Structure formats: structure tokens, C-alpha cells
Amino acid sequence: MFKQMKLGTKLIAGFCIVAVVALFLGGIGYYGAVQNDRAMDEVGAVRLPSIQSVLEMKESMQAIILNLRTLLNPDLEKAVRKQQYEQINELRGKYKAAFDIYEPLPQTAEESRQWDQFMEIIPKWAAVNDEIFELHQQIDSLDILNPEKLLVQLQKFRGDHYALEVKVANMLLTGNTFSGGDDGTKCPCGQWLAGFSTQNSELQRIAKAIDRPHRQFHAAVGDIRRAVKNEDQQEAIRIFTGQMQDASIEMFDSFDELIAEAQKAAQLRTEIAEKTMGEGLEYMEAGFGRLNKVIAINEEIAEKEVSGAISQSGALKTLNLFAMIAGVILALGLGLLLTRSISAPIRRIVDGLSTGAGQVSSASSQVASSSQSQAEGASEQASSLEQTSSSLEEMAAQTKQNADNADQADNAVRETAQVVDKGVASMEKMNDAINEIKESASETSKIIKTIDDIAFQTNLLALNAAVEAARAGEAGKGFAVVAEEVRNLAQRSAEAAQNTSELIEKSQKNADNGVNVADEVAGQLNSIKQSAEKMGSLIGEIAAASKEQAQGIDQVNTGVSEMDRVVQQNAADAEESASASEELSSQASEMEKMVAELEAMVGASGKAISAVRGGSSSKQVQPQEKFRSTTRKISNGAGKKQAGAQRSDSRKADQVIPLDDDEFKDF
């Protein structure tokens, strides 16, 4: 039955069988992928998001409790408390976001039960947190963040004023006075009132009300002390029972009001601490217990899904391996059967492939010979032009180098002239400076002469003073000593003036010599400047001539380069022609070999093989020596070779091996 089928039917049947095997293998792989996708979806889209969102809720709850505990610190500033409030609001938002992620996810029965229990606890915990939050805001409105500290201060203030009042009473009884107590601003309470600041209007009112009686109280202390010192007992008692007692009553009433406000704030802080560390902590721990169980359930489900996926993947691998082995065996058998049914028609077609190989080889050898001759001549010409171009390039480079050196020398000479100009100017300045020094020395010499005259006159006065002291006898001895010292100083001044005068004369002589030397140096520098200018002019002319010579050589070099390019192009074309001919001959020989191999493969007759070999042997082309080009490497040679190879194989596949059913009707 298989032998009676057409070739197309056989091929279709064979490919259908292979397609069925591939479909079976693909189905196994697709089933495994679907199962893995389901497991990955369960783990990645349900369980992992569940665990992550529950952990985020738990973390947010812990952070909220931590912030509430931080708010229990009475030493926190208002800015820090405000920051804690903002963090709590942010954490509530994070909790809500995690809650919204977990809530719609699928849940098992046990997981749903634990979640329902958690949902019964969390509203209570939230209500306690809201109460705590509201109590903190009440403390903020009272503006008494540390009521315990305020209570201690107020009790101390009241005790201090009670003690002061007792001291005043003892002073009235005993008449013994004491110092201090009469300045309310130096009192600790007065200092506290001066620095007290609050946003609570009630506290502002009380602090304002306590200030006046407090000042009156301390002023009364001073008045009573003065009356006691003046032994005016009646006046002292009147002030004590009147002004001081009235101020004391009013002041202590204000203290009581402040203490009441502080106790109110302390009560709020106690209530906050009890709720934070009591109900709030209990609800949080209970909620954490339910969340931990939810996390454990999701982790267990994820582990089961992963384990099941691994087990199923192993089974699918084994099944896929057996199916693949069966498919390979089936494909090999089908290929052997199809090969036997197709080889006979190919034998007939092979005979037509060897007819033109000999003619192609002969023509390609002639083209290769002429192309090689042309390429050798062009290569020699290109080599000569290349040497000429190289020599011209060297000459141009040397000429440009000479021009550049001349330019550099010209610049150096110009710079030298500028330096010489600066040197001449500097010498003139130095000459002027030496003249000024000389004039200053002359003026100094006059001053020294004046000093010498003064020293001489001083010496005469000292001698006269000594004579007068000698006449005075015993009373003039001290004056004689002074006159002797003045005389010694006058002599030393005269000697110093003489030495200085000699030095100034030497300086004047040296200044004269310096002026002469500076004039000589200026003359030499002017001579150097003139020589440098002449040298710069000559070097400029040399540079201009070198530039013109370099331009001429560049033009000649451009023409030679163009000739070299044309000759190289001709050599490259000739080389490509020779190479294409050699390639064509080689392809013809290769085609003969492939025809012989194809005939041997399909079992052709010995006569056909010998005929092909005999026909081609008489026209076999001798191997051409590969062309060794001395020109540059041509970049487009490979493209031309490829084009030639494509032209040599221009016949279509259906002309060489037709696969229509009419050609195989003998089967």
C-alpha cells in the first residue's frame, strides 16, 4: 500500500506522523507548564502576598505601640510629640494598605476562622488607641507635658513662702531681723513666673493673677523689716496682718489653682499609661497571636504547593523522556522508508549535472590567464607610483618641518626683542633709583654734619657744667657726674656721625659707579635688540619661502596620489577577474566531485561515473598559481567573488530535483 502512494502523499504522511509525535510531546510539556503555572500562581499571587501583607500589618501595629510608648515620656518637646502623631497616622495608612491587599485574597477555612477572630480583636484595639490618642491631645491642650515636675515645683514654691512668712512672724516676736526675702524677682517662684510660657488660657490667667500678690508679699517683708529696725512694732504688725496676709492668701489660692491644673494633667497621663500598657498591649498580643497563625497557615500551604509541583515535575520529566525515545525511533524508521522510495528518481537526475563542467573550466582558465597578466603589469606600475608618492610625502613633511622651525625661530627672536626692551626699561629704572639714592645720601650727609655740630656744642656745655660743678664744691659733685656723662655721650655722637659720614661718601662713590655700569649695559642691550630685529626679518623670509615650497610639493603629491589610486583600482579589477576565474574553475571541479559522490551515494552505474570523469579529464584546467599582488588589499573583492559564485548556481532547485508527482509516476 505504501509503494502505491504518490511521493507527495508519502511526504505528507511522514510529516503528519512526526507532527503527531511532536504534538504529544508538546501536550505533555504544556500540561506540566499549566500545573507549574497553577502552583506558582497559588504561591506567588496568593500565599506570598498574604504573608507579606500580614507581616506589614503586624509591623505597623508594633510601630504604633512603640510611638504610643514614646509619647509616655514626659520630657518630650512639642515638636517631637507632633512628629510621633504624624508617624502614627502614616503607620495607620500603611496598615490600611496592607489590610486592603490581604482582605480580598482567597483563604482556607482555618485561615478564615483565624482572620475572623483577628477582626473581632482589632476594632477593640483601634478604639483603645483612639482613646489614648484623644487623651494625649487633651494633655496637649492643657499644655502641661510634665505635670509631676510642675507639681514638685509648685509645692516647693508654696513651702518656701510659708517658711518666709514664719521667719517674718519670728522677727516680730523676737525683734531679730534677717536679710533677703524682699525682692520677688530673686525668688525661685518669681524667676519661674518670668520664664513661664504656655498656650493654655487658664494657666495664663492664673500666672498673671499670682504675679501681683507675689510682689506685694515680698515688698511687705522689706517694709516689716524696716519697721522692726526703727522699733515701730505697731507699724510692723499692721503691715504683717494687713498687706502681707492679704497677699499671702491671694497668692496661695493661685498656687492651689495651678496645682489643681497640674493634678488634672497628671491624672490624664496616668490614664494614658494604664490604657497603653494595659488594654492596648493585651489586644495587640491577642491580635499578633491570630496573625502569627495566619502566617503559619500560608507558609504551610506554600510549602505543600512547592513540594507537589516538584513531585509532578519529576513524573512529567519521566513521561516526556519515554515519549521522546519513542518519537526518535518512529522518526528514524519513517526516514529510512522515505529514503528508499526517493533515491531511484535522484539517480536519473544526477546524470544531467555533469554536462557543462568541462566547458566552464576551459573558459575560466583562459580568463584567469589574461587577468593575471593585466594584474601583474598594473601592480608593477602601482608599486612605482607608490614609491614616488612616498618620496614626495617625505619631502613635503621635511619642507613643512623647515617652515615650522622657521616660524618658531621667528617667534623666539621676537620674544628676545621684547625681553631686551624690558631689560633696557629696567636698566633705566635702576639708573633713576641709583640717582635718587645718591641724592638721599647727600641729604643724609648734611644731617650728619648738623649732628656733629650739635655734639661739639654739647661737649662744650658739658665742660662748662663740669667747671661750674667744681666751683660749687661738695654740693656740685652730683652735677659734675651728670656733666661727665653728657660729655661722654657728646663724644660718642661725634664719633658715630663721623663714621656715618664716611659710609655715606662711600655709598655716593658706589652709586656713581653703578650709574656708569647701567649706562654700559643699556647700550649693549640696544645693540642686541637691533641684531635680533635683523635676524627676525631674515627668518621670516625663510619661513615664507618654505611655505610656498611646501604648497607646491603638496600639489604634486596630490596628482601622484590620484594616479596611484587609478592604477590600484585597475590592478584590483584585474585581480578580481583572475580570482573570479579561478573560483569558477574550482567550483566546476567541486561540482564534478559532488556529482560523482551523489552518483555513488544513490548507486549509479559505472558507465555514467566513468563518462563524467572521462569527459572532464580531457578538459581539466591546470591549477593556476595564486596571484600575489603587491598592491594594497582591495575591500570589495569578496563581494565580486560571491556574485560570481551566485551566477554559477543560477538554476532553481525544482529544475535540478523536481518533486511533482508526474516525475515520480514510475513509483
Q: Is the predicted pLDDT of residue 251 greater than 80, yes or no? A: yes
Lowest-pLDDT range, 206-210, 281-285, 605-609, 638-642? 638-642
Q: What is the CATH number of the domain that holds 515?
A: 1.10.287.950
- Mark whether 83 and 208 lie in a shared domain: no
Beta-carbon contacts of residue 451 (< 8 Å; ≥ 6 apart) = 493, 497
What percent of the chain stands above pLDDT 70?
Answer: 72
Q: Is 76 left (phi over 0), alpha (psi -120 to 50) or beta?
A: beta
Q: What is the DSSP letter of 278?
A: I
CA distances from 439 to 433, 434, 442, 505, 573 (A): 10, 9, 5, 12, 94
- Mark whether 453 and 388 lie in a shared domain: yes
Q: What's the domain range around 107?
A: 7-144+278-337
When the pLDDT of each residue in the chain is averaged and rounded to a whole number, the result is: 72
Task: Give the pLDDT band of residue 565 (cuts 50, 70, 90).
Answer: confident
Is residue 171 domain-resident? Answer: yes
CA distances from 286 to 78, 130, 552 (A): 32, 18, 101
- Mark whether 402 and 521 lie in a shared domain: yes
Task: Give the pLDDT band of residue 464 (cuts 50, 70, 90).
Answer: confident
Is residue 472 domain-resident? Answer: yes
Among 564, 584, 619, the domain-final residue is: 564
What percent of the chain stands above pLDDT 90?
Answer: 0
Is residue 347 domain-resident? Answer: no
Return the higher-pLDDT residue of 25 and 331.
331
Is residue 344 domain-resident? Answer: no
Is residue 661 domain-resident? Answer: no
Return the higher-pLDDT residue of 637 and 585.
585
Alpha carbon 455 to chain centroid distance?
A: 82
Q: Is the predicted pLDDT of residue 610 greater than 70, yes or no? A: no
Is residue 600 domain-resident? Answer: no
Among 544, 564, 584, the domain-final residue is: 564
Instruction: Pull the grid cell for residue 433.
Output: 633709583
With residue 583 as reference, give the H or E element that holds it: helix 477-602
Q: Is the predicted pLDDT of residue 555 greater than 60, yes or no? A: yes
With CA atoms as reference, report the closest residue to 126 among 188, 77, 61. 61
Give the start-end residues of each E strand in 369-485.
none
Describe the chain by its helix, strand, coil percentages, rounded to 5: 90, 0, 10
- Mark whether 128 and 179 lie in a shared domain: no
The whole-number average pLDDT for the span 176-199 is 80
Task: Give the pLDDT band of residue 655 (cuts 50, 70, 90).
Answer: very low
Burial 82-103 (b: 16+ CB within 10 A, else e): eebeeebeebeeebeebbebbe
d(CA 457, CA 612): 148
Residue pair 35/314 in contact (Cβ under 8 Å)? The answer is: no
**Cell 522692726, residue located:** 228
Burial of 3 (0-12, 13-18, 19+ CB in 10 A): exposed
- Mark whether 171 and 56 lie in a shared domain: no
Q: Is the predicted pLDDT of residue 356 greater than 70, yes or no? A: no
Beta-carbon contacts of residue 199 (< 8 Å; ≥ 6 apart) = 143
Among 524, 543, 564, the domain-final residue is: 564
pLDDT at 644: 42
The whole-number average pLDDT for the span 323-331 is 75
With residue 330 as reference, give the H or E element that holds it: helix 281-350
d(CA 181, CA 220): 9
Q: Is the predicted pLDDT of residue 616 greater than 70, yes or no? A: no
- Mark whether 81 and 226 lie in a shared domain: no
pLDDT at 640: 41
Residue pair 631/377 in contact (Cβ under 8 Å)? The answer is: no
With CA atoms as reference, report the closest residue to 80 among 151, 163, 136, 162. 136
Lowest-pLDDT range, 226-235, 244-253, 322-331? 322-331
Q: What is the pLDDT of residues 23-63, one digit of tens each?
A: 766 766 656 555 555 545 555 556 667 777 778 877 877 78
- Mark whether 135 and 160 lie in a shared domain: no
- Mark whether 464 and 419 lie in a shared domain: yes
The tally of domains found in the chain comes to 3
d(CA 130, CA 455): 105
- Mark whether 407 and 532 lie in a shared domain: yes
Torsion 79-84-87-88 (CA) sign: negative
d(CA 384, CA 382): 5
Q: Is the predicted pLDDT of residue 129 greater than 80, yes or no? A: no
Give the other-Cβ count within 10 Å of 605's Cβ: 11
Residue pair 484/494 in contact (Cβ under 8 Å)? The answer is: no
With CA atoms as reference, report the closest residue to 164 among 231, 228, 239, 222. 222
- Mark whether 82 and 101 lie in a shared domain: yes
d(CA 337, CA 318): 29
- Mark whether 138 and 158 lie in a shared domain: no
Q: What is the CATH number of the domain that holds 43?
A: 1.20.120.30
d(CA 370, CA 580): 12
CA distances from 127 to 91, 113, 209, 273 (A): 16, 22, 40, 15
Is residue 554 domain-resident? Answer: yes
- Mark whether 130 and 162 lie in a shared domain: no
Is residue 389 domain-resident? Answer: yes
Give the other-Cβ count within 10 Å of 228's Cβ: 20
